[in-house]
Structure 1
Amino acid sequence: MIHQLICILAFAWCASAAATTEIPNAQQRLAIVDAHTSIREVVNPPASNMQIMNYSMQLELLAKDFVGQCTQRKPNPNVQKQYRGFSVTTLVTVGGDYPFETMVSTFGDKAVFYDYDKNSCMGDCSVYTQAVWATTTEVGCAKSRCDGLLPNEARPTYLLACMYNPAGNTPNRRPYEMGEACSKCPAEYKYCQRRQCSKNSAASTLLSALTLIFSIVVIYSVA
C-alpha cells in the first residue's frame, strides 16, 4: 500500500513538473520573431548581410526538451546529437513569469557591452551576439519553471531557452559584416525588409502573419 502511494505521489510530481514547461502560442511565436527583428535592425555599426529571422517548430521542441531539464549547462552535440548544428541561449528570471517577447527583448540590452571594432564583450554578451548573428535564420523558444535552479534562491525561478539555426557565436568571428543595409545579401534574398535580407517582400510576410492570426481566431471561435 505504501509502495503504491509512493508511486502515485511520484507520478503526480512528474505530471506537475511537466506542466511547468511552456511553449509559445502562435501570436507569441510571431512576437519572438519580431523581437529578434527589432534587435537586428538597429545594430551599430549597421550590418550589410543581416538575414531576416523565421520561427522553427523543430527548434521549439528542442528548446522545450532543454528547459525541461532545468539546467543552464549547454548541451554537448557530440553526445546529444539532436542539438548538432544548433546553438542555445538561456535567460533566468526570478520572482515573476514574464511573456516570451519581454524576455527575448532583453537580449538586445547586452548591445552596450559589445565592441564591434574589437569583437569583444565587457562581461558575457553572448545572448546578444547570437541574437544578431547574421547567418542565423531560425529560432525556437520555450520556458519552464525551475525552482532551485539558482543556489540560495527561494523565489519562483524561470528558465527561458532559445535554440538557433545555423548556430552562431563562432569563436573569433564577428556576428555580421559592417556596411550598408542589405548590400551583401545572399543571391536568393531578393528583398530588404527592416534593414535585413529577406526572401519575401514585406507585403507577403505581413499577409502570412495575418493569415496565421486569423486561423487562431477561427480555432478559438469554434472551440
Structure 2
Amino acid sequence: MHGNAKNKTGMIPKPKNMMQMYYSLVLEKSAQEAADKCIYSHTDTNYGESFYSWPQELNETYVMEQSIIGWWTEAEARGVIGPYPNQTCFPYDYAQHSRQIGHWSQIAWWNTNEVGCAVGRCPRFKSNVYCHYWNRGNVYTGCVFWVGEPCIECPKSCNKTSLLCIY
C-alpha cells in the first residue's frame, strides 16, 4: 500500500530519487509495540512514525488502508510549498511543517525505503494504527526529495512501472 502511494504524486512535482518501499517485520514489531501502548500520539522512537486512532474496532486491513490514504492525501488537502525558485529540493522546513503534512512527508521522504505497520486494540480508540519507517524523514532543513525526471538519480536501478528507485 505504501509503495502504491509513493508513486502517485499527483499535484506534487515528480521526484527524481524517491526510493521504493519494502516491508520490514522488525518495523512491524516496533509499530505493534507502539500501537499496544494506547497513548494516542507519537511515541519516542528512532524510526519515522505515522499514527491514526479510530474510535471503532474495525477490520485491520481496512483501518491500515484508510490511514495510509489519509496520510498520503495530507499534501493535497493542506497544500505544500516548494520547491523554491531556482532549486530542485522539495524542502522540509518550518513553513512546510506548519502545514501539518508530516505523515505525507515521512512516506514521501526520498530515502525512506522500509515500513512496518500494526494495529493495536485499545479502550478509548478501538483501532490504533501505527507505521514505522526507515530511513527516518522529516529532518528540518532537509529535502523531502529532489524534483526532476523520475529515476534519474537512482543509486542502483529503477522500477520502470512505479518509477521508484530500487536499492
Which range, TM-score by smaller chain?
0.7 to 0.9
Does the 8 Å CA contact 1:147/1:158 hold for their aligned counterparts? no
SS at match of 2:74: helix
Q: Aligned residue for 2:117?
A: 141
5+ residue gaps, structure 2, are 85-90
5+ residue gaps, structure 1, are 1-34, 77-82, 149-155, 200-223
User: What's the CA shift string for 1:61-95, capped at 9, x where partnerless?
Assistant: 0001111101134333xxxxxx43x2211112223
Within 5 Å, which residues of 2 pair with 1:1-223? 35-43=1-9, 44-76=12-44, 83-84=45-46, 86-95=47-56, 97-98=58-59, 99=62, 100-112=64-76, 113=78, 114-117=80-83, 119=91, 120-121=96-97, 123-148=99-124, 157-186=126-155, 188-189=156-157, 191-199=159-167
Does the 8 Å CA contact 2:151/2:158 hold for their aligned counterparts? no
Does the 8 Å CA contact 1:192/1:198 hold for their aligned counterparts? no
* CA distance in 2: counterparts of 1:147 and 1:189, whole angstroms: 46
* CA distance in 1: counterparts of 2:157 and 2:126, whole angstroms: 41
* CA distance in 1: counterparts of 2:123 and 2:99, whole angstroms: 26
Query: For the aligned residues, what is the CA RMSD?
Result: 2.0
Considering fraction of residues, name the structure with more helix.
1
Considering fraction of residues, name the structure with more strand.
2
Q: 1:137/1:147 Cα in 2 relative to 1: closer, same or farther (>3 Å)?
A: same
User: What's the CA shift string for 1:16-56, capped at 9, x where partnerless?
Assistant: xxxxxxxxxxxxxxxxxxx2122211222000001100000
Q: 1:157/1:115 Cα in 2 relative to 1: closer, same or farther (>3 Å)?
A: farther
Deviation at 1:129, TM superposition (A): 0.4
Q: 1:109/1:190 Cα in 2 relative to 1: closer, same or farther (>3 Å)?
A: closer
Does the 8 Å CA contact 1:52/1:198 hold for their aligned counterparts? yes
Does the 8 Å CA contact 2:57/2:121 hold for their aligned counterparts? no
Deviation at 1:190, TM superposition (A): 5.0
Q: 1:132/1:47 Cα in 2 relative to 1: closer, same or farther (>3 Å)?
A: same
Q: 1:116/1:146 Cα in 2 relative to 1: closer, same or farther (>3 Å)?
A: farther
Does the 8 Å CA contact 1:115/1:121 hold for their aligned counterparts? no
State percent identity of aligned pairs. Answer: 22
Greater RCO, CA 8 A, separation 6+: 2
When Rg is computed on C-alpha atoms for both structures, the one with the higher figure is 1
Count of matched residue positions in the alignment of Structure 1 and Structure 2 = 150
Letter of the structure 2 residue corresponding to residue 181 of structure 1: P
